Structures are given as structure tokens and as C-alpha cells.
């Protein structure tokens, strides 16, 4: 019998963990998982053991319903190389295994059926991409061709074929993706892409016809007991796109066509950050849309969009904004999110910071990952006990040091964690200072709580030299995780008030009103955004900020929605960003840079902020090695990187100690 006891009810979140009827079926709770690409499929879209483990872990963790990542309905056009497919019967056995794994724990599973059309991945040999019309400059890498009506008839049947195979494999239904002006159905629905004048275009009924045809095909092939869910954008939030009024009408037509539930998202893939909200956007970013649509239909409506805390989901359901909440990143970050929330153990939930690094590697063929959780399939540090228990000293209580100390202690080692600052967190404490980075404070609290639970001895305000370690910690294996130092070239520190971005964020330096930030990476952009006036109203007291970046792109090492939100917000606040600008001279009063062969001098600045990156300081590691101490450098102590890199390296090392 399937296990349905986990997260079946909750005193703290009674609405979120109450059952709900969808079509003819009952889902045990309203905490659901939306599509999140994993890149874990194999052999041109077949279900892998890793995929079964991934979704089964979320079902085991208490999620009530899972909508999988994209499943293409035919093999010609691939969305991502590691996504799933259901183009013929060879795919059915894998889905049987996946559905059975999810059902074992009492959850429902809906594959998301999709045709990528003009958004297909350009695998060599792919024919010219198809689209509703010849419109392609928004996204497609080359101009697509309009799909013919004869081809549409085949595609409609392919959706039906895929759904029928899913029914045979044991899934509870399917989700049909028609949101975000994304893929074939989303493109047909959106006036941004659909310029047709036949029965599949023109007015909203024409643009909706393809989706309705697919819905009818699936219903006829799969029966009344098979859940049909349609994902829509409640508002495309893009000029010339679908509006909320349009989508209220669409929602009514979908209900009349026999759809069992609606998954209401928002935005488009054209307008970066509107569909998948990055950090810096409000939680439940599409709840206003689901709330209005819910007023006009009687079928269940789920909302989605950076819902990462249980109390937010409970409020949305209690206040009538949705019948259920899709929580993707939260369940990637912690597979036991639902179980812990139902038990009221929210402090034990690994906090999602909304950074979207879980998806940034997907386009490059990498599997899903998480900044905060180095093992997205792991069970909160459920690591093998060490065969030999050791004394371990971790130097540096930043994210890498805290992760290494926790995992080492969990494996049975006796661990001491030392840091020269008065608080744990390291540079993550200043990384939390810029606008929209508050969630990093939750990570620090989470990591600190785990150290206490595992009995790690934490010594703060303790600066250790190699001599101190050799004397006071003889026989200890040392993990060096003490971070990196900001780069501050002597040629730039002669300015009357020169400081690093770290100095600003730590509050060690209070800037003036005319500021130049040198370095347009993520730290420089975040610092400029932090210093800029919240309202660009040209008030006399506003700071004026110039950001100089030698490269052609701001925050070049970042991608996705978070970067788009940061850059557009920073520019809207009046920051003057100059790319291709190489600083050539700095003296006490002036800053000179070269751009396009011309020299420019800033002579009215009062503060120069350096955001030129970081360099590792290997001196302690080298001194320890010279003294014969077993030492391992991780994180920024080895090579500067991001939090994900640091935590992953710490986890990997501690598992081998």
C-alpha cells in the first residue's frame, strides 16, 4: 500500500496540508512541485534511474503532486539535451518505474507535455524550426517557418499519443504547457508570436484553438479519470502580449473544454525575469493573477513563482489566492521540505535563496544543482560514518567552513571551527547586505543551527597562525576555509577616499555623494545598486554613481532572471554604467579611463569603490604544509568562486576525511 501518512496534515499549516479533489482524483495536500528541468534523462529522452530517484525523493518528502519537467511529444525537436520524451513505446517502461516510485509515497504525478517548436535546442541535423508564424527574433536563433495545418493535425495526434502512453505507464494525468509565449502552444496563444489569419490565428479564439484541440484529443484518448492540467500565463507582462482580461476568458474556455485544473504562471520567456522570478522579486510573484482567475472558474487553480516558505503558501490558500501552491526551488533545495513543514520544523528546512543557480547550468548540459544543497538528492547530510574518527580543525566559518564542519561532525569526527570574526557567516554576511540578498541570512542561521545540533565547537574572534595550530592542535587534520582578499591595486588607492566593495558592505567606510565604482561584475553591480537612490528623482541629496567596467558586459559571469532584475533595477535608479572602460590613471583628485580610444577624466568624485574581484591568500596553507600539518584548502581559500562552488567543495572534502 502507498504511504500517505507523511505530510497528510499539519497543525501549523492546516490549509496547505488539507486534501483537494482534482477531476475525479484526490490529492493528499496542496503543496505541489512544478516543472524544474534536471537534465537527468538519458538516451534521447528516456527516464534514467537518477530521474526516478529525484522525483521519488520529493514524493517521499511529502509533496502531494508532482508536475515533471518538459516531456516532448515527438523526437525531431529537442528542448534540452537532457529532457524527457514520450515519442514511442520505448519510453513507457521508464515512466512505469517513475510513476510507481512516486505512487509508493502517496503522491500524484503529471508529466508536462510540450512541443518546443521555435525554442528547440539547435542540435546538429535539426531541420528549420517551426512556429505559429515567421516571427522569431525574440528568441529563435534563426528565422522559423510557419507550421502548416497538415502538420498541426499530426502534432495534435502526437500529444494524444504521448498522453495515452502516459496513461498506460500509470501516471495520474498530464500537464499541457501553454504558458510564457513558450513553445508551440504558448506561441500560438500569444499575439507576440501568432500572426496567422487562418482558423488558428487572428482573434483570441483562433489563437486558443490549438490548445483546445490538444485538450480534446487527450480527453478522448485517455478518459474522464485522467487529470488534464493546463499551464497558462495569467498575464504575459509584456508589451503587446496577453493580458489578465484575455486570460480570464481563456481560463473559462479551458474549463468548458474539460480541463481539470489550471496552473497559473505569468510573464514570457521573451521578457527576462517575468516568467521565472529571480532573487529580488517578491514571493508568490504570480499570485495576483491566480487570485483573479480563481474568481471566474470552479476548477482548482494552482499558483507558482518563488514560493519558498510554507507560511507564504498557507497564506495564499487561506486568503483565496489559489487552491494549491507549486513550490519548485524549495523542493529542489530540500527534498523533505513538505515533511518538515507539516511537522512545524521550519527551522530545519534548508532555505532556498532564489538564486536560480539550480538552472544556470542546464543550458550547458549540466545536471540540476543547488547553491545551498550540494547534494540535491541527499538527506540532510546523511553521509557514511567515517571508518577512522579524527580530530579536525576548520579555519574559517564562512559557508564552506560551516558546511565542512557540519558534514565532518555528522560523520563522527571531533570538529573545532575557528574564525577571527565575532560571528559566523564569513563573506556571506556582507553578501546579504545588498538589496534583495536577505535570504542569505537564513542560510547562515540554518548552517549555524546544524553546527550546534552536531556539537561542533565554535571558537569566534580567534585568529590562528600556523604556529598556533602546530602548538595547540597537534595531530588535527586542518581544513582551510578562511576566504579570500579583495583586490586593491596600489595604483588605484591614492584617491582621497578609496575603499573596496567589502569596506562599503561591512560598514567600515561611509561613502560620499559622488561615487565611482570600478568593476562591473556581480559584486560591483550589487554595490552600485545598494548605494544608488531608491528613487531616481534627481533630488539634490541623491548619490550620483558611475560604474566602470573594462569588459563589454555587466555581471558577465551571471545569467538568467536574477541578473536581469539586478541590472535593470540598477539602471532604473540612475546608475551610469560605462562598459569597455579601462581605468588608466588614478590620483588623489581624479579618475581617468579610456573608452573607444578616447580618454575621459572624472574630477568631481569623492569616493572610489574597488570591486575588482578577490585573490586567495595561500600563506597559512603554505606555512602549515611546511610544518608538516595535514591541510586541505577549500572555497575562496583555494580559489575565489561563488557560494555554490564553496559549499560543494566543502561537502565533497568532508565526505572523504
Does the structure show a pLDDT above 60 at 5?
no
What is the structure's pLDDT at 108? 98
User: Over the stretch 448-464, which tens digit does the pLDDT of each residue have?
Assistant: 999 999 999 999 999 99
What is the structure's pLDDT at 356? 83
Helices (H), 1-91: 49-60
**What average pLDDT does the structure give for the chain?**
94
Q: How many Å from the N-terminal Cα to the C-terminal Cα in the chain?
A: 41
User: Over the stretch 551-581, which tens digit does the pLDDT of each residue have?
Assistant: 999 999 887 788 888 999 999 999 999 999 9
3-state secondary structure of 253: helix
What is the structure's pLDDT at 268? 87
Q: Do 536 and 568 contact (CB within 8 A), yes or no?
A: no
Query: Model's pTM, two decimal places?
Result: 0.93
Q: Give how far Cα 176 sits from Cα of 186, 326, 646, Å.
A: 10, 15, 38
Average pLDDT on 612-623 reads: 94
Q: How confident is the model at residue 137 (pLDDT cuts 50, 70, 90)?
A: low
Residue 656 vs residue 379, higher pLDDT:
656
Residue 207 vs residue 564, higher pLDDT:
207
Q: How far apart are CA 436 and CA 529, in angstroms?
A: 10
The residues with which 549 forms a beta bridge, in sequence order, are: 579
What is the structure's pLDDT at 279? 76
Does the structure show a pLDDT above 70 at 71?
yes
Average pLDDT on 541-552 reads: 96
The residues with which 415 forms a beta bridge, in sequence order, are: 392
Q: How far apart are CA 473 and CA 226, in angstroms?
A: 64
Does the structure show a pLDDT above 60 at 6?
no
Q: Do 73 and 155 contact (CB within 8 A), yes or no?
A: yes
User: Over the stretch 340-387, which tens digit does the pLDDT of each residue have?
Assistant: 999 999 999 999 998 888 887 777 778 999 999 999 887 666 788 999
543 Cβ partners below 8 Å, 6+ apart? 511, 512, 513, 514, 515, 531, 532, 533
Instruction: State the CB neighbour count (10 A cutoff) for residue 468.
Output: 12
Q: Cell 474549463 sits at which residue?
A: 255
Does the structure show a pLDDT above 50 at 4?
no
Does the structure show a pLDDT above 70 at 139?
no
What is the structure's pLDDT at 380? 64
Q: How confident is the model at residue 33 (pLDDT cuts 50, 70, 90)?
A: very high
User: Over the stretch 497-525, which tens digit does the pLDDT of each residue have?
Assistant: 999 999 999 999 999 999 999 999 999 99
Residue 115 vs residue 140, higher pLDDT:
115
What is the structure's pLDDT at 560? 74
Contacts of residues 130-136 at CB distance under 8 Å and 24 or more positions apart, as own/partner, are: 130/77, 130/184, 131/184, 131/187, 131/193, 132/184, 132/187, 132/188, 132/193, 132/194, 132/195, 132/196, 132/200, 132/201, 133/193, 133/194, 133/195, 133/196, 133/201, 134/195, 135/192, 135/193, 135/195
Average pLDDT on 277-284 reads: 80
Task: Specify burial of residue 361 (Cβ count, 10 A radius: 0-12, 13-18, 19+).
Answer: middle
Q: Do 47 and 91 contact (CB within 8 A), yes or no?
A: yes
Does the structure show a pLDDT above 60 at 2?
no
Q: How confident is the model at residue 8 (pLDDT cuts 50, 70, 90)?
A: low
- Length in residues, the chain: 657
Q: How confident is the model at residue 229 (pLDDT cuts 50, 70, 90)?
A: very high
Does the structure show a pLDDT above 60 at 205?
yes
3-state secondary structure of 399: helix
Amino acid at each position: 500500500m502507498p504511504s500517505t501518512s507523511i505530510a497528510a496534515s499539519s497543525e501549523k499549516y492546516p490549509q496547505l496540508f488539507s486534501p483537494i479533489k482534482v477531476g475525479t482524483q484526490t490529492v493528499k495536500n496542496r503543496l505541489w512541485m512544478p516543472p524544474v528541468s534536471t537534465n537527468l534523462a538519458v538516451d534521447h529522452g528516456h527516464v534514467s534511474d537518477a530521474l526516478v530517484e529525484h522525483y521519488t525523493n520529493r514524493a517521499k518528502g511529502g509533496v502531494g503532486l508532482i508536475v515533471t519537467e518538459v516531456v516532448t511529444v515527438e523526437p525531431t525537436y529537442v528542448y534540452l539535451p537532457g529532457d524527457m520524451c514520450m515519442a514511442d513505446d520505448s519510453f513507457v517502461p521508464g515512466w512505469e518505474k517513475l510513476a510507481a516510485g512516486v505512487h509508493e509515497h502517496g503522491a500524484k504525478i503529471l508529466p508536462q507535455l510540450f512541443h518546443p517548436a521555435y525554442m528547440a535546442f539547435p542540435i546538429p541535423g535539426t531541420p528549420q524550426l517551426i512556429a505559429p508564424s515567421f516571427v522569431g527574433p525574440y528568441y529563435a536563433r534563426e528565422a522559423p517557418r510557419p507550421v502548416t495545418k497538415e502538420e498541426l493535425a499530426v502534432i495534435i495526434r502526437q500529444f494524444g499519443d504521448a498522453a495515452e502512453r502516459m496513461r498506460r505507464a500509470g501516471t495520474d494525468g498530464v500537464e499541457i504547457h501553454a504558458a510564457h509565449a513558450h513553445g508551440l502552444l504558448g506561441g500560438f496563444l500569444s499575439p507576440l508570436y501568432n500572426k496567422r489569419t487562418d482558423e488558428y490565428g487572428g482573434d483570441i479564439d483562433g489563437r486558443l484553438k490549438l490548445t483546445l484541440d490538444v485538450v480534446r484529443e487527450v480527453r478522448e484518448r485517455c478518459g474522464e479519470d485522467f487529470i488534464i492540467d493546463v499551464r497558462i500565463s495569467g498575464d504575459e507582462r509584456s508589451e503587446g502580449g496577453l493580458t489578465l482580461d484575455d486570460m480570464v476568458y481563456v481560463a473559462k474556455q479551458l474549463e468548458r473544454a474539460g480541463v481539470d485544473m489550471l496552473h497559473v504562471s505569468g510573464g514570457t520567456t521573451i521578457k527576462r525575469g517575468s516568467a521565472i522570478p529571480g532573487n529580488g522579486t517578491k514571493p508568490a510573484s504570480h499570485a495576483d493573477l491566480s487570485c483573479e482567475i480563481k474568481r471566474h472558474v470552479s476548477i482548482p487553480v494552482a499558483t507558482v513563482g518563488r514560493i519558498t516558505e510554507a507560511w507564504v503558501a498557507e497564506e495564499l490558500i487561506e486568503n483565496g489566492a489559489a487552491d494549491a501552491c507549486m513550490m519548485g526551488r524549495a523542493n529542489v533545495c530540500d527534498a523533505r521540505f513538505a515533511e518538515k513543514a507539516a511537522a512545524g520544523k521550519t527551522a530545519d528546512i534548508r532555505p532556498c535563496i532564489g538564486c536560480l543557480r539550480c538552472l544556470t547550468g542546464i543550458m550547458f548540459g549540466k545536471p540540476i544543482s543547488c547553491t545551498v544543497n550540494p547534494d540535491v538528492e541527499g538527506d540532510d547530510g546523511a553521509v557514511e560514518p567515517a571508518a577512522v574518527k579524527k580530530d579536525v580543525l576548520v579555519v574559517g566559518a564562512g559557508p564552506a567552513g560551516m558546511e565542512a564542519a557540519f558534514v565532518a561532525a555528522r560523520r563522527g569526527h571531533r570538529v573545532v571551527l575557528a574564525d577571527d570574526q565575532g560571528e559566523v557567516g564569513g563573506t556571506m554576511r556582507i553578501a546579504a547586505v545588498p538589496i534583495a540578498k536577505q535570504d542569505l541570512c537564513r542560510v547562515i542561521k540554518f548552517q549555524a543551527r546544524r553546527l550546534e545540533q552536531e556539537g561542533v565547537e565554535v571558537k569566534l574572534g580567534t585568529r590562528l597562525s600556523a604556529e598556533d595550530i602546530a602548538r595547540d592542535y597537534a595531530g588535527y587534520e586542518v581544513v582551510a576555509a578562511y576566504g579570500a582578499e579583495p583586490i586593491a591595486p596600489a595604483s588605484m588607492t591614492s584617491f582621497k577616499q578609496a575603499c573596496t566593495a567589502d569596506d562599503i558592505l561591512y560598514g567600515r567606510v561611509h561613502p560620499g555623494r559622488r561615487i565611482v565604482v570600478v568593476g562591473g561584475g556581480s559584486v560591483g553591480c550589487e554595490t552600485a545598486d545598494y548605494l544608488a537612490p531608491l528613487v531616481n528623482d534627481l533630488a539634490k541629496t541623491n548619490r550620483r554613481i558611475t560604474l566602470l567596467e573594462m569588459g563589454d558586459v555587466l555581471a558577465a559571469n551571471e545569467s538568467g532572471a536574477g541578473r536581469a532584475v539586478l541590472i535593470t533595477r540598477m539602471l532604473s535608479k540612475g546608475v551610469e554604467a560605462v562598459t569597455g572602460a579601462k581605468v588608466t590613471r588614478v590620483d588623489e583628485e581624479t579618475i581617468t579611463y579610456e573608452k573607444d580610444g578616447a580618454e575621459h577624466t572624472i574630477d568631481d568624485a569623492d569616493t572610489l569603490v574597488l570591486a575588482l574581484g578577490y585573490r586567495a591568500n595561500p600563506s597559512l596553507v603554505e606555512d602549515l604544509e611546511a610544518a608538516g600539518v595535514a591541510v586541505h584548502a577549500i572555497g575562496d581559500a583555494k580559489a575565489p568562486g561563488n557560494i555554490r562552488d564553496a559549499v560543494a567543495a566543502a561537502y565533497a572534502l568532508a565526505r572523504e576525511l
